[in-house]
Amino acid sequence: MADPTKPRASFAPWDRRELPGSFSVEETARRVGNYKWAETKLFEVLGGWIATVPELDIKLRLGTHCYKHAWHAELWHKRLPELREMNPARLTLPANDALVRFVDAMTEPEDASLTIEKLVGVYRVYIPHFISAYTYHLNNTSEITDMPTIRSLKFILQDEFEDWRDGEMLIQSLLETPEHVDRAAAHQAKLEKLMLEAGGIAGHGSIGINTQAPQGALS
């Protein structure tokens, strides 16, 4: 018989999880607030483009993706009160001013002839940075104390990967000439420089790297 007076280990021998994660409750709440802001902006951007993009197949796909990001924002909104944040709106903020500038630049292409630039901004820059930040968070939070966040991250990452794939296929379908390729590359480089300054959707440290943007990153 087992000795009832002998203390048992916290976890079963086959369970190698650790109780502490890399984030405090406050840091998790800050990041979740940044995620909610960024997802909300993506929902708004895609929703706005649905009416102006002339290509019907792309219009339909943007509509599908748009509501996924609305749902992601809702998931993060619901997570904030559980993280002891009584006023979710207070933490629904951009990571920094540079990220606001990035979103503004991403939404600049308004003309109906600029579908390539629209898609490049979302699917070659913005969504890959969501995937990076979410994957880092998933790999560094506690599997014991933060399972609700992990569950949300897994659902959302599945959507992000699917949308990334769809978006890249749409972009490739539009790149019909060398000039199209040059346009896509130039716009991606412009936006990546802005995202470099921002440090990612949760700011510097989005993927565990806390260094500031290099001097002259926007030159």
User: Contacts from 12-15 at CB under 8 Å and sequence distance 24+?
Assistant: none
Is 210 a member of any domain? no
Grouping H, G, I as helix, E, B as strand and the rest as coil, residue 32 is helix
Residue 95 zone, left/alpha/beta (φ > 0; ψ -120 to 50; rest): alpha
Is 19 a member of any domain? no
Q: CA separation (Å) from 140 to 30, 135, 153, 165, 202? A: 15, 9, 12, 25, 14
Is the pLDDT reported for residue 213 higher than 60?
Answer: no
* Contacts for 74 with CB less than 8 Å, ≥ 6 apart: none
Q: What is the mean pLDDT of residues 123-141?
A: 95
* Closest to 23 (Cα-Cα) out of 65, 83, 64: 83
User: How many structural domains compose the chain?
Assistant: 1
pLDDT tens by residue, 24-66: 888 999 999 999 999 999 999 999 999 999 999 999 999 999 9
Is 185 a member of any domain? yes
State the pLDDT at residue 23. 85
Is 212 a member of any domain? no
Is 125 a member of any domain? yes
pLDDT tens by residue, 88-110: 788 899 999 999 999 999 999 99
What's the CATH number where 162 sits?
1.20.1260.10
Is the pLDDT reported for residue 219 higher than 90?
Answer: no
Give me the count of residues in the chain. 219
Q: CA separation (Å) from 82 to 20, 45, 127, 149? A: 18, 28, 26, 10
State the pLDDT at residue 146. 87
State the pLDDT at residue 5. 72
pLDDT tens by residue, 153-209: 999 999 999 999 999 999 999 999 999 999 999 999 999 999 999 999 999 999 987
Is 205 a member of any domain? no
Is the pLDDT reported for residue 1 higher than 60?
Answer: no
State the pLDDT at residue 144. 81
What is the Cα–Cα distance from 93 to 106, expressed in whole angstroms?
18
Is 86 a member of any domain? yes
* Contacts for 48 with CB less than 8 Å, ≥ 6 apart: 107
Q: What's this model's pTM, rounded to 2 decimal places?
A: 0.86
Higher-pLDDT residue of 7, 195: 195
pLDDT tens by residue, 116-128: 999 999 999 999 9
Task: Indicate the DSSP class of residue 134.
Answer: H
3-state helix, strand and coil shares in percent for the chain, rounded to the nearest 5: 65, 0, 35
Domain of 60? 25-198
Is 204 a member of any domain? no
